[in-house]
Structure 1
Amino acid sequence: MAPQGKGQGGALGSFLMLFAIIIIFYLFLIRPQMKKQKEVRNFRSSLKKGDKVLTIGGIYGKITDIKDTTVTLEIAENVRIKVDKSGIINDSSALEEKK
């Protein structure tokens, strides 16, 4: 007869493998995503009048007014639009410096 204890070792190995996969998934996918979200949140909270920004739709503009959840952008002379803060993705002055 075969020993009955071998099944438990296989279950423990499977559990450890599953645990290792979860840890790897967290380290390579979830944690970097959380860091990126924190950076974006900090960027959006630090916006001020005069900043040049880029929206999700690809519109470049200069901030003329800031409310709790919206920002007014001047995209051309005397042309202003309101966008939600979540629609602003980047500081366009930083992009211009890279070019």
Structure 2
Amino acid sequence: MNLVTLLPFIVLIGAMFLMTRSAKKKQQAAAQMRDHMTPGTGVRTIGGMYATVKEIGDDTVTLEVAPGVHAIYAKNAIGAVLEDAEYNRIVHGAGDDLTIDTPVVPDDASSLTLDKDADKPEDEAPKLDLGKKDEPKADEPKDDEPKDGKADGEAGTK
């Protein structure tokens, strides 16, 4: 056979070997990281939840996700084991010297708009036209209903 025909297969096998090797290295690094977990360590799950390790089993780990709330996770679900300083900074905001230069947005939007008619009583303030017709009262027939209350083509006695 010609070397030119074998060359793509050799390159493909070499690429597969390198990808498998790097994947194995990542798995080993993740397993080694999980081995450094001890009760009281802060972790981040692969889903992005931060928690504190309470107990470690063979394949599972018990996490405290909130004070007094424990959940059992697979060890493979641990995405990162965090240092105490980093965990406290993320979860508790400890050590953050954040100053906010922008104004705080209020919970309601009433203070964001200027209401020129705020001093007028409610019945005198102009109404916003939303394109809806006023609903007829219960005793009044609707515009699209016949006055006798029968639908078109409905037979009735006279």
- Same fold, TM exceeding 0.5? yes
Q: May I ask how many residue pairs the two structures share in their alignment?
A: 88
State TM-score, norm by structure 1: 0.73
Looking at CA atoms only, which structure, 1 or 2, has the larger radius of gyration?
A: 2
Q: Percent identity?
A: 32
- Equivalent of residue 44 in structure 1, options 11, 34, 37: 34
Preserved contact between residue 73 and residue 81 of structure 1 (Cα < 8 Å): yes
RMSD after superposition: 2.3
The residue correspondences of 1:8-87 to structure 2 (distance < 5 A) are 8=1, 11-27=2-18, 29-87=19-77
Preserved contact between residue 72 and residue 82 of structure 1 (Cα < 8 Å): yes
Preserved contact between residue 51 and residue 62 of structure 1 (Cα < 8 Å): yes
Shift of 1:46: 2.8
Distance 1:21 1:58 in 2: 36
Q: 1:94 to 1:15 in 2, by over 3 A?
A: farther
Q: Which has the higher contact order (CA 8 A, sep 6+)?
A: 1
Residues 32-76 of structure 1: CA deviation (Å, up to 9, x unaligned): 111101101112233211111011222111111111111111122
More helix by share: 1
State TM-score, norm by structure 2: 0.49
Shift of 1:21: 3.0
User: Where in structure 1 are there 5+ consecutive unaligned residues?
Assistant: 1-7
User: Where in structure 2 are there 5+ consecutive unaligned residues?
Assistant: 91-158
Distance 2:44 2:78 in 1: 6
Distance 2:33 2:13 in 1: 30
Structure 2 letter corresponding to 1:51: T
More strand by share: 1
Shift of 1:93: 2.9
